[in-house]
Amino acid sequence: MNVGVLGIGITKFGERWDQGLRELLLDAQVKSIKDANIEAKDIDALYTGNMGGGALSGQLHIGAMATENLNINKPSSRVEGACASGSLALRAGILAIESGEADIVQVNGVEKMTDVSTEQVTTMLMGAGDEELEGFNGLTFPGLYALLANAYMSKYPKLTRDLLAEVSVKNHFHGARNDYCQFRKEINIDVVKNATMVADPLTLFDCSPITDGAASIILASEAKAKELGSKVSIIGSGMGTDSLSLARRNTLTAIPAGKIAADAAYASAGIKASEVNFAEVHDCFTIAEIMAVEALGFAKEGEGYKLYKNKDTYFDGKIPINTSGGLKACGHPVGATGVKQAVEATMQLRGEAKGRQVKDAEIGVTHNVGGSGASAAVHVFKRVK
């Protein structure tokens, strides 16, 4: 697989009361087109990741919105896969190019979440879980991930509360150095541990926030990418699935869909985990990042804590994780997150991540999860020499 990245665009993440769903999407779209040095008419197809448009904004049919924004009449679809919507849109764009259906594709992700109550957002997000087994019984996603955290820390007690908090501390450290991040402030372990309890053991600072934002990326076929001077390629893509509910999972101490996706992505890229220089992973909650680094093969199950104990996951460490600030600090506009990860990977490989640049980065990975692990997508990015 060799799909070029021509351009990227991203909005500021946060409480964006100055822009609606359409404006956020348009902002990111225009930026990616400009960065790619192409015109809108050059795009052959569009895919836009979005989860909550209908529930939160009353707006579905976002594929048509994306083409209307650009005044073009090209094939355009909305892609929904819960919090993995952005990465699944990216995967759809890659497959369109790999199949020969398109030479240039725009992939977007967008979410507008802050104009409604927290209760409405919580209800919408629970659509990513099992409505009958979990939602009807009062579970929320903090509750689901708290169950995973308790199961994991019971089986693997070397992951202490302080080391779990270190995930958030590190992501805020990176976020403080990222212009498009929602929270640009460093914190310490005590701030995480002493914050308001959400679902034991997870406090407010273990949880990703409610966020508005959009991101966009322009993909091209190998030939077109070479012609237009692409500096980054996507060389691997994989997807995995599992049960909607935790009750039907075979394990509560890992997210198998993430490992399935990683193994498939590594196989298609022809690489091993040891060759990866950095990763953007799905840290919707701090425990999710621990499980992600293990799914990606950076540590064995139960040993992910070592990376945080040794501070190996900072941008200048052995395996930098979430140099964007992750979902925790950068924000989590759910449909946009997977595309945001791709934007950050591209910035790193182009040497544009000022203040958090991974030295001599050649291969990066993005890891995006839907729900509590019912779906996952992993992509491998490589710098073009």
Q: Which residues pair with 236 in a beta bridge?
A: 380
Q: What is the pLDDT of residue 369?
A: 98
Q: What is the pLDDT of residue 69?
A: 98
* pLDDT less than 50: residues of the chain: none
Q: What is the pLDDT of residue 379?
A: 99
| The pair of three-digit structure tokens given for residue 253, joined into one six-digit string | 């101490």
Which stretches of 57-175 are assigned E, i.e. beta strand? 76-79, 104-111
Q: What is the pLDDT of residue 268?
A: 97
How confident is the model over 294-330, as pLDDT tens digits? 999 999 999 999 999 999 999 999 999 999 999 999 9
Identified catalytic residue from 83, 207, 284, 330 = 83
C-alpha to C-alpha distance for 385 and 287, rounded to whole angstroms: 36
Residues 6+ apart with CB under 8 A from 19: 11, 27, 212
Q: Which residues pair with 279 in a beta bridge?
A: 321, 365
In the chain, the amino acid numbered 313 is: T
Strand pairing category for 45-49 and 363-370:
unpaired
C-alpha to C-alpha distance for 97 and 242, rounded to whole angstroms: 27
How confident is the model over 334-379, as pLDDT tens digits? 999 999 999 999 999 999 999 999 999 999 999 999 999 999 999 9
C-alpha to C-alpha distance for 101 and 22, rounded to whole angstroms: 27
Residue 330 annotated in active site = no
Residue 332 annotated in active site = yes
Q: What is the pLDDT of residue 89?
A: 99
Q: What is the pLDDT of residue 90?
A: 99
Q: What is the pLDDT of residue 77?
A: 98
138: alpha, beta or left? (left if phi > 0; alpha if psi -120 to 50): left
Tokens 């040497």 map to which residue?
351
Contact 374, 291 (CB under 8 A): no
The predicted model scores a pTM of 0.98
Q: Spell out the CATH class of 3-117+209-383.
A: alpha beta
Q: What is the pLDDT of residue 223?
A: 97
Identified catalytic residue from 172, 174, 282, 332 = 332
